[in-house]
Protein backbone atom coordinates (compact mmCIF):
# COMPACT_ATOMS: atom_id res chain seq x y z
CA UNK A 1 0.00 0.00 0.00
CA UNK A 2 2.75 2.43 0.93
CA UNK A 3 6.30 2.36 -0.24
CA UNK A 4 9.00 1.97 2.39
CA UNK A 5 10.19 5.58 2.11
CA UNK A 6 6.76 7.00 2.87
CA UNK A 7 6.21 4.48 5.67
CA UNK A 8 9.45 5.63 7.30
CA UNK A 9 8.44 9.29 6.87
CA UNK A 10 5.14 8.60 8.64
CA UNK A 11 6.90 6.87 11.53
CA UNK A 12 9.55 9.61 11.75
CA UNK A 13 6.83 12.25 11.95
CA UNK A 14 5.44 10.47 15.01
CA UNK A 15 8.83 9.77 16.54
CA UNK A 16 9.97 13.38 16.14
CA UNK A 17 6.98 14.41 18.25
CA UNK A 18 7.33 11.60 20.81
CA UNK A 19 3.74 10.51 20.18
CA UNK A 20 4.32 6.75 20.22
CA UNK A 21 3.86 6.81 23.99
CA UNK A 22 0.17 7.62 23.39
CA UNK A 23 -0.41 4.83 20.90
CA UNK A 24 -1.71 1.35 21.57
CA UNK A 25 -4.37 -0.92 20.11
CA UNK A 26 -7.19 0.95 21.89
CA UNK A 27 -6.11 4.52 21.12
CA UNK A 28 -5.20 3.84 17.51
CA UNK A 29 -8.26 1.72 16.70
CA UNK A 30 -10.48 4.36 18.30
CA UNK A 31 -8.77 7.06 16.24
CA UNK A 32 -9.24 5.03 13.06
CA UNK A 33 -12.96 4.71 13.80
CA UNK A 34 -13.25 8.44 14.44
CA UNK A 35 -11.44 9.32 11.23
CA UNK A 36 -13.63 6.85 9.31
CA UNK A 37 -16.67 8.61 10.79
CA UNK A 38 -15.29 11.95 9.58
CA UNK A 39 -14.94 10.41 6.13
CA UNK A 40 -18.52 9.13 6.26
CA UNK A 41 -19.82 12.57 7.23
CA UNK A 42 -19.06 13.84 3.73
CA UNK A 43 -21.86 11.67 2.34
CA UNK A 44 -23.99 10.96 5.39
CA UNK A 45 -27.19 12.66 4.18
CA UNK A 46 -26.40 12.62 0.48
CA UNK A 47 -28.71 10.90 -1.96
CA UNK A 48 -27.03 8.23 -4.07
CA UNK A 49 -27.55 10.24 -7.25
CA UNK A 50 -25.66 13.17 -5.66
CA UNK A 51 -22.58 11.22 -4.52
CA UNK A 52 -20.48 11.94 -7.60
CA UNK A 53 -20.94 15.68 -7.07
CA UNK A 54 -20.01 15.39 -3.38
CA UNK A 55 -16.84 13.53 -4.26
CA UNK A 56 -15.97 16.10 -6.90
CA UNK A 57 -16.70 19.08 -4.63
CA UNK A 58 -15.10 17.69 -1.48
CA UNK A 59 -12.27 15.60 -2.88
CA UNK A 60 -9.46 17.45 -1.03
CA UNK A 61 -11.21 17.00 2.32
CA UNK A 62 -12.02 13.36 1.53
CA UNK A 63 -8.37 12.76 0.61
CA UNK A 64 -7.27 14.20 3.96
CA UNK A 65 -9.58 11.85 5.85
CA UNK A 66 -8.29 8.87 3.85
CA UNK A 67 -4.72 9.98 4.57
CA UNK A 68 -5.48 10.21 8.30
CA UNK A 69 -6.80 6.64 8.25
CA UNK A 70 -3.75 5.34 6.36
CA UNK A 71 -1.37 7.13 8.73
CA UNK A 72 -3.11 5.68 11.78
CA UNK A 73 -3.16 2.20 10.22
CA UNK A 74 0.56 2.55 9.54
CA UNK A 75 1.18 3.33 13.22
CA UNK A 76 -0.99 0.40 14.30
CA UNK A 77 0.61 -2.11 11.94
CA UNK A 78 4.09 -0.98 13.00
CA UNK A 79 3.32 -1.17 16.71
CA UNK A 80 1.69 -4.60 16.47
CA UNK A 81 4.30 -6.02 14.08
CA UNK A 82 1.76 -6.66 11.33
CA UNK A 83 3.05 -7.24 7.82
CA UNK A 84 0.18 -5.51 6.00
CA UNK A 85 0.92 -7.03 2.60
CA UNK A 86 0.98 -10.55 4.05
CA UNK A 87 -2.19 -9.92 6.07
CA UNK A 88 -4.03 -8.57 3.02
CA UNK A 89 -2.96 -11.52 0.87
CA UNK A 90 -4.13 -13.97 3.56
CA UNK A 91 -7.45 -12.15 3.90
CA UNK A 92 -7.97 -12.19 0.12
CA UNK A 93 -7.40 -15.95 0.09
CA UNK A 94 -9.80 -16.38 3.00
CA UNK A 95 -12.45 -14.22 1.33
CA UNK A 96 -12.03 -16.04 -1.98
CA UNK A 97 -13.20 -19.20 -0.20
CA UNK A 98 -16.11 -17.41 1.49
CA UNK A 99 -17.16 -15.59 -1.66
CA UNK A 100 -16.55 -17.84 -4.67
CA UNK A 101 -17.06 -15.96 -7.92
CA UNK A 102 -19.75 -18.31 -9.17
CA UNK A 103 -21.93 -17.57 -6.11
CA UNK A 104 -20.95 -14.04 -5.16
CA UNK A 105 -20.60 -12.22 -8.47
CA UNK A 106 -22.98 -9.29 -8.59
CA UNK A 107 -24.39 -10.03 -5.14
CA UNK A 108 -24.18 -7.83 -2.03
CA UNK A 109 -25.15 -10.73 0.22
CA UNK A 110 -22.97 -11.84 3.08
CA UNK A 111 -21.13 -15.14 2.64
CA UNK A 112 -23.58 -17.04 4.86
CA UNK A 113 -26.50 -15.97 2.64
CA UNK A 114 -25.04 -16.94 -0.72
Task: Tell me, letter by letter, the H, E, C secondary structure of the chain.
Answer: CCCHHHHHHHHHHHHHCCCHHHCCHHHHHHHHHHHHHHHHHCCCCCCHHHHHHHHHHHHHHHHHHHHHHHHHHHHHHHHHCCCHHHHHHHHHHHHHHHCCHHHHCCCCCCHHHC
Is the residue at 111 inside a domain? no
Is the residue at 73 inside a domain? yes
Range of the domain at 24: 4-102
Q: What is the pLDDT of residues 48-97, one digit of tens each?
A: 999 999 999 999 999 999 999 999 999 999 999 999 999 999 999 999 99
Place 1 in a pLDDT band, splitting at 50, 70 and 90.
confident
Is the residue at 110 inside a domain? no
pTM: 0.90
Is the residue at 107 inside a domain? no
pLDDT of residue 111: 87
Is the residue at 109 inside a domain? no
Return the CATH number at 93: 1.10.287.1080
The number of domains in the chain is 1
Is the residue at 21 inside a domain? yes
Is the residue at 91 inside a domain? yes
Amino acid sequence: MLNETLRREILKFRDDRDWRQFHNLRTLSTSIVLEAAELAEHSQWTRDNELDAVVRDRKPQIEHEVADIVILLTYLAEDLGIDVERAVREKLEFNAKRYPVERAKGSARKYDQL
